[in-house]
Chains A and B, each alone.
Chain A
Amino acid sequence: SAVISQKPSRDICQRGTSLTIQCQVDSQVTMMFWYRQQPGQSLTLIATANQGSEATYESGFVIDKFPISRPNLTFSTLTVSNMSPEDSSIYLCSVLHGGRQYFGPGTRLTVT
Chain B
Amino acid sequence: GIQVEQSPPDLILQEGANSTLRCNFSDSVNNLQWFHQNPWGQLINLFYIPSGTKQNGRLSATTVATERYSLLYISSSQTTDSGVYFCAVEASNTGKLIFGQGTTLQVKP
CB within 8 Å of B: which residues of A? Answer: 1, 31, 33, 41-45, 48, 58, 90, 92, 94, 96, 99-103, 105-106, 108
Contact = CB atoms under 8 A, between A and B. Distances in A.
A101 B45 contact: yes
B102 to A, nearest CB: 6
Interface of B: 31, 33, 35, 41-43, 45, 48, 86, 88, 94-102
A48 B95 contact: yes
Contact of A108 (B35, B41, B95, B100): B41
A101 B95 contact: yes
Given A48-B94, A90-B41, A99 B86 contact: no
What are the 9 closest A-B residue pairs judged by CB atoms, nearest first? A103-B43, A96-B95, A31-B95, A100-B48, A42-B99, A43-B99, A42-B101, A106-B41, A100-B45
Contacts of A99: 31, 48
15 contacts: A1-B45, A33-B95, A33-B96, A44-B99, A58-B96, A94-B97, A96-B95, A99-B48, A101-B97, A103-B43, A105-B41, A105-B42, A106-B42, A106-B43, A108-B41
